[in-house]
Structure 1
Amino acid sequence: MGSTLTMEKAKAAKKLIENHYRAQMKNIQERKERRWLLEKQLASSDVPEEERMSLIKDLEQKETEFMRLKRNRMCVNDFELPSLGDELMVQLCREKKSGNIYAMKKLKKSEMLSKGQAEHVRAERNLVAEVDSHCIVKLYYSFQDAEHLYLIMEYLSGGDMMTLLMREDILTEKVAKFYIAQSVLAVESIHKHNYIHRDIKPDNLLLDKSGHMKLSDFGLCKPLDCATLSTINENESMDDSSRDSMDIDATLPDAGNGHSWRSAREQLQHWQRNRRSLIVHWRHYLKFPEDAKLTFEAKDLICKLLCDVDHQLGTGGAEQIKAHASFKDVEWDKLYEMEAAYKPQVNGELDTQNFMKFDEANNATPSRSGSRPSRM
């Protein structure tokens, strides 16, 4: 009896060791493949040698940091969570050890598998882990338990662009230009790593407490190599969910101005209901009222973004947009160092007032008091 038990323990230990080293070898091989792929992509591009070495070094640093995080086994018990229930996909949390505040994204494994979202989640995690940019919401930790996958993200207390648009109704040309410029940098940063976002919209443009914007929600992002990026299927390239084009209908002069909304929910539903019509049928809906007082450059920029894809500004890269006359006074390399064009009201690190609140009656209220975030 004792001999049989000893044999079973030895067999289990052997299996554990074999699985461990098999996983280690797989990680090493995947790490080599990622470096080889990056070197191959850089070799076929016009990137200067100094920048190539910097990108390779940056990848190695990320790989080392990733391995360090894997060794530091974390779980949900390492965080304090407010009692907000299980219905929220994203909620605030505080790391017990450091006291830092984060946004915890909680994904149910069974739903991910049933909806075929596993690859999307993997791409999302890889993107935020790989892209080290002040334009992108940062991922700090990822771990899982039997039922859920957890992503511990940077918490941006300034809210999202949709809430800002609903509060302000119309942004000044100066403020709009500032956030369009930061959006360009954000999209450019993920394109440089050969990903496309496929879900660019005001809801996914978040503001930090100082008012600077970062891109979030990479659940629909897609990794592409350089060859694939230029040969996307024609049907896919024209699909709303596949193109990294800005949803700017909420900022158009006639997209909500002059209406008296009974509730923020009604206003939001109106924008969502008419979004497709306003982008797709821009020839009919795009008008510039005289009292809008837009500069010629701003009108020209809007027209060159809202046009057939063959003539659309930016199809040749971000530099096309940066070179537009509307941005002639923009210092692109200092956008995240200068004071933001808009300063959100933030009262403390746990403040959620800048996110839309949905109560049980299904009414949305972009309130000025502390509220529960529905998205971050």
Structure 2
Amino acid sequence: MKKLKKSEMLSRGQVEHVRAERNLLAEVASHCIVKLYYSFQDAEFLYLIMEYLPGGDMMTLLIREDTLTESMARFYIAQSVLAIESIHKHNYIHRDIKPDNLLLDKNGHMKLSDFGLCKPIDCATLSTLNENEPLDDENLRESMDIDGCFSDKGSRWKSATEQLQHWQMNRRKLAFSTVGTPDYIAPEVLLKKGYGMECDWWSLGAIMYEMLVGYPPFYSDDPITTCRKIVHWKSHLKFPEDSRLTPEARDLICRLLCDVEHRLGSGGADQIKAHPWFKDVTWDKLYEMEAAFKPEVNDELDTQNFLKFDELDPPPARTGSGQTRKMLMTPKDLSFVGYTYKNFDAVKGMHDMRRSTSPRRSIDSIFGGDSAMRSRRTSSAGDTDTHMVSSADVMSP
């Protein structure tokens, strides 16, 4: 479940992002991205209920493995190509492609997630990043002063091994940082130039480099220096002497981490699929074959494949519902009209699968007796402001 506070979305100017995320998940029916089952809201929060993928994420896998073999990397980069292609076909840019957002199902197949920064794009024009979009954290806003007099702290690393060790030490902290990491952001985005779908392919190139080398290509121990390196990528894109990448792998990385006009994928995903590094990939069978990595999953709610972290915020106080909720309606609520959604096909398929694999439970076992059942009916009847819509409906401005 993803939970978003309405007041924060409004104060940060994130309402359009919220709409885009909900609309993309409702619109794009692809086995390459996580499924949205429901979206709904109460007086204070927006909620997205999505499928749970117990295999973990690519970030956790990379922390455990350090590097991947080219065969394993090829499998997951290929599945990432299909996932990115699926949203580009619906005219959306993801803008936050990174290992944390590549999730694995119980069989090890990858799905793209977290569309909180996605943006619909008019194919006839280029979308422009403004002040309040992805890099709205103060530390990263400072990084826009790319040519300022910053010391390159990363230059003190003398070897690829030292840089790998430093990245491994800090990666876990960055995963839960409010600042995050700009390691996968394209230079045209950092420079606030007009940009398009090509920025997602740059991010994929940075991930491929990390999979095979062990750390991102422009990593430094502070985000400002990382941003500088990305913008001046021609001076900083290097491969460690002891790396054992094939010429095809190096070539693909270099053709993704380059200027927009020369970037592979600028003419569509087929350009990337045709690269020699993917010569043995059967694209239409990728999600049918055995995955390159099989996570250990004990049950459908297993969490062992994700990094553990402590919740710092106490649970919020509950607010009223039903008629009380309607009486308290404010302009804040009007910004999110139409947010509620139910994916009837996905929910029905989930229920059908569970019926076929598990015995039917009694009503008492679910609700804990007649009194609990009556209580739930009463509560449900009072909440009259919920409206379910079909997957064809789009949340309008």
TM-score for both structures, normalised by structure 1: 0.60
SS of residue matched to 1:190:
helix
Q: Distance in 2 between matches of 1:170 and 1:279?
A: 22
Deviation readout 1:45-67 (Å, 9 max, x if unpaired): xxxxxxxxxxxxxxxxxxxxxxx
Specify the code of the residue in structure 1 equivalent to 2:118: C
Aligned pair 1:307/2:254, yes or no?
no
Specify the code of the residue in structure 1 equivalent to 2:32: C
8 Å CA contact 1:278–1:285 kept in 2: the answer is yes
Which of 99, 112, 115 aligns to 2:12? It is 115
Cα separation, partners in 2 of 1:197 and 1:320, compared to 1, 3 Å:
same
Structure with the greater relative contact order (CA < 8 A, sep ≥ 6): 1 or 2? 2
Q: Distance in 1 between matches of 2:39 and 2:15?
A: 14
Which of 296, 301, 308 aligns to 1:357? It is 308
Q: Which residue of 2 aligns with 1:251?
A: 211
CA apart distance, 1:129: 0.6
SS of residue matched to 1:127:
helix
Q: Which residue of 2 aligns with 1:321?
A: 272
8 Å CA contact 1:109–1:149 kept in 2: the answer is yes
Cα separation, partners in 2 of 1:163 and 1:278, compared to 1, 3 Å:
farther
Aligned pair 1:184/2:134, yes or no?
no
CA apart distance, 1:152: 0.6
Which of 240, 246, 250 aligns to 1:295? It is 246
SS of residue matched to 1:150:
strand
SS of residue matched to 2:56:
coil
SS of residue matched to 1:187:
helix
Q: For residues 203-214 of structure 1, what are the structure 2 equivalents within 5 Å?
A: 203-214=100-111
8 Å CA contact 1:169–1:256 kept in 2: the answer is no
Specify the code of the residue in structure 2 equivalent to 1:342: F
Specify the code of the residue in structure 1 equivalent to 2:305: N
CA apart distance, 1:141: 0.7
Q: Distance in 2 between matches of 1:151 and 1:129?
A: 11
Aligned pair 1:141/2:72, yes or no?
no
Cα separation, partners in 2 of 1:341 and 1:272, compared to 1, 3 Å:
farther
Q: Mark the runs of 5 or more structure 2 residues left unpaired by the alignment.
A: 134-185, 313-397
Which of 53, 58, 70 aligns to 1:156? It is 53
Q: Distance in 2 between matches of 1:145 and 1:173?
A: 47
SS of residue matched to 2:8:
helix
Cα separation, partners in 2 of 1:354 and 1:276, compared to 1, 3 Å:
farther
Q: Distance in 2 between matches of 1:256 and 1:112?
A: 30
CA apart distance, 1:327: 0.6
Identity across the alignment (%): 73
CA apart distance, 1:213: 0.7
Q: Which residue of 2 aligns with 1:227?
A: 124
Q: Distance in 2 between matches of 1:195 and 1:360?
A: 32
SS of residue matched to 2:213:
coil
CA apart distance, 1:254: 6.3
SS of residue matched to 2:9:
helix
Q: Distance in 1 between matches of 2:216 and 2:251?
A: 22
CA apart distance, 1:282: 3.8
Cα separation, partners in 2 of 1:314 and 1:153, compared to 1, 3 Å:
same
Specify the code of the residue in structure 2 equivalent to 1:128: L
CA apart distance, 1:337: 0.6
Cα separation, partners in 2 of 1:167 and 1:319, compared to 1, 3 Å:
same
Q: Which residue of 2 aligns with 1:348?
A: 299
Cα separation, partners in 2 of 1:252 and 1:177, compared to 1, 3 Å:
closer
CA apart distance, 1:288: 3.5
Q: Which residue of 2 aligns with 1:87?
A: none
Aligned CA-pair RMSD: 2.8
Q: Distance in 1 between matches of 2:237 and 2:68?
A: 17
SS of residue matched to 1:227:
coil
8 Å CA contact 2:106–2:297 kept in 1: the answer is yes
Q: Distance in 2 between matches of 1:164 and 1:270?
A: 21
CA apart distance, 1:269: 9.1
Q: Distance in 1 between matches of 2:265 and 2:96?
A: 17
Specify the code of the residue in structure 2 equivalent to 1:203: D
Deviation readout 1:179-236 (Å, 9 max, x if unpaired): 11111111110011111111111111111111111111111111123323xx344999
8 Å CA contact 2:249–2:277 kept in 1: the answer is yes
Q: What count of residue pairs does the alignment treat as equivalent? A: 246
Q: Distance in 1 between matches of 2:250 and 2:216?
A: 19
Q: Which residue of 2 aligns with 1:45?
A: none
